[in-house]
Amino acid sequence: MKNIGELISLVKTQYPEKEIIALHEPVFRGNEKKYLLDTIDSTFVSSVGKYVDRFEEMVQAQTNTKKAVAVVNGTASLQVALRLVGVKPGDEVITQALTFVATVNAIAYNDASPIFIDVDLDTMGLSPFAVEIFLNEYGEMREDGCYNKQTGKKISACLPMHTFGFPVHMDKLIEICEKWNIPIVEDAAESLGSEYKGQKTGSLGQIGAFSFNGNKIVTSGGGGAIVTNDLEIGKKAKHLTTTAKVPHSFEFMHDELGYNFRMPNLNAALACAQLEQLPSIMKNKRELALLYTEFFRTQGVKFRQELPNTKANYWLMCVELENMKDKEIFLKETNSKKILTRPIWQLMYRLPMYSHCQRDEQINAEFLEERIVNLPSGVR
């Protein structure tokens, strides 16, 4: 870009009290302390308490889903969601290589393998068209579902990720996956508050998974949530994430292998206070996105904006630079001035544990890997 110094000045004016300007640090301006003290006073600080129930109700309302289940983090929500849609050891899951490692780790935790399919340039998320090309070449329908002709393994799920809060082209992806009888689990970890054609992300697939980590748009410190419109799946999610304990007033009976993935009431209290502020947080971030849009237009740099018929939460804002060299210069100069920009993730098949996995050409993913840089995106 023409003048990185002008960007540094702009960012510093938006966060005037910060010596080091982080990518996305949490802001606590509501009832956080009040609810935390209330939780401590109640002595219900662990995995049972009124704030866990309230958090689940608030997530249901926010996502327009019928059931939300609080869990300990976003990775846990993905791991359980995949099991709930039928992913079994030895199966395969279609997903994207341009993602945070948790997306793919959740597949591995189910003893399944990822198939890496390319992303779309406009969304930076899983490309329905690339999925269709792959399935037309390698998919084989059998009585119990779709199989990969190359490996002979069942493709048990499709796991798109809404990158930085920008929604994937979900209608086309749903159409393709329904044709091939592949359930969709949405990795909505980064997209709380985002919408696709008027529907909340996380509510379009069979199951959605969210993260409330410390760097997310709202946080519980550490936490996640599973959401669904299928009440039976929701009931099963709650059962599995609470050690598969059969309800009883005093006996301990567990009827299958479950997980101790319960969100503590302390974390839920923090999350409830944060969720109350989500509308104002999104308004603040969208105003920042507008400032960036105008600035980068004068610099001749592509600032990533939401697409028509979508609403992005602008969790992490980003620019697309001309090439790898420009990206390296940008990162070095901004970080040297304590403006903590960062590159997009290294593609998952470059990691040693996933280097052997099947993938398509990844033309778009590699293009974006070389050019995308995240900007400070926190609430001002």
The string of pLDDT tens digits covering residues 339-365 is 999 999 999 999 999 999 999 999 999
Model confidence pTM above 0.85: yes
Topology agreement, domain 4-25+278-349+358-375 and domain 32-277: no
Among residues 156, 153, 103, 155, which one has the least CA distance to residue 126?
A: 103
Q: CB burial class (10 A; 0-12, 13-18, 19+) of residue 196?
A: buried
Segments making up each domain of the chain, as ranges: 4-25+278-349+358-375, 32-277
What is the pLDDT at residue 1?
73
Query: What number of CA atoms fall less than 13 Å from residue 16's CA on the CB side?
Result: 1
Of the chain, the percentage scoring pLDDT greater than 90 comes to: 99
Mean of pLDDT values over 35-57:
97
Q: Find the mean pLDDT for residues 365-379.
A: 98
Residue with tokens 């929701």: 234
CB atoms < 10 A from the CB of 295, how many?
17
Mean pLDDT of all residues belonging to the chain: 97
User: From CA 91, how far away is CA 107, in angstroms rounded?
Assistant: 9
Region 68-80: mean pLDDT is 98
Confidence (pLDDT) at 253? 95
**Domain with residues 4-25+278-349+358-375, CATH architecture:** Alpha-Beta Complex (3.90)
Tokens of 220: 């519980």
Q: Which two tokens stand for residue 124?
A: 């930076």
Residue-wise pLDDT for 282-341, tens only, equals: 999 999 999 999 999 999 999 999 999 999 999 999 999 999 999 999 999 999 999 999
Distance of CA 69 to CAs 77, 195, 244, 296, 326, Å?
A: 9, 20, 14, 40, 43
Q: How far apart are CA 255 and CA 239, in angstroms?
A: 10
Per 3-state DSSP, the chain is made up of helix, strand and coil in percentages (nearest 5) of 40, 20, 40
- pLDDT for the residue 133: 98
- Where helices occur in the chain by DSSP H, the ranges are 4-14, 32-42, 50-63, 74-84, 101-109, 128-138, 170-179, 231-241, 265-276, 278-299, 324-336, 363-371
The edge-to-edge listing of strands for the beta sheet with 302-303 is: 302-303, 317-320, 372-375, 342-343
Q: For position 116, what pLDDT does the model report? A: 99
Q: What is the pLDDT of residue 2?
A: 75
Distance CA 379, CA 274 (A): 12
**pLDDT bucket at 3, cuts 50 / 70 / 90:** confident
In this predicted model, what pLDDT tens digit does every residue of 80-136 receive, in sequence order? Answer: 999 999 999 999 999 999 999 999 999 999 999 999 999 999 999 999 999 999 999
Mean pLDDT along residues 210-239: 98
What are the residues whose beta carbons fall under 8 Å from the beta carbon of 290, sequence distance 6 or more?
Answer: none
179-202: pLDDT as tens digits: 999 999 999 999 999 999 999 999
C-alpha span between 67 and 221 (Å, rounded)? 22
CATH, domain range 32-277: 3.40.640.10
Q: Quick one: tokens of 38?
A: 């209330």
* 81 to 162, 214, 219, 263: CA distances (angstroms): 16, 22, 21, 16
* Cα separation values, 85 from 88, 158, 223, 236, 340, Å: 9, 10, 21, 11, 38
Buried b (16+ CB within 10 A) or exposed e, 203-215: bbbbbbbbbbbeb
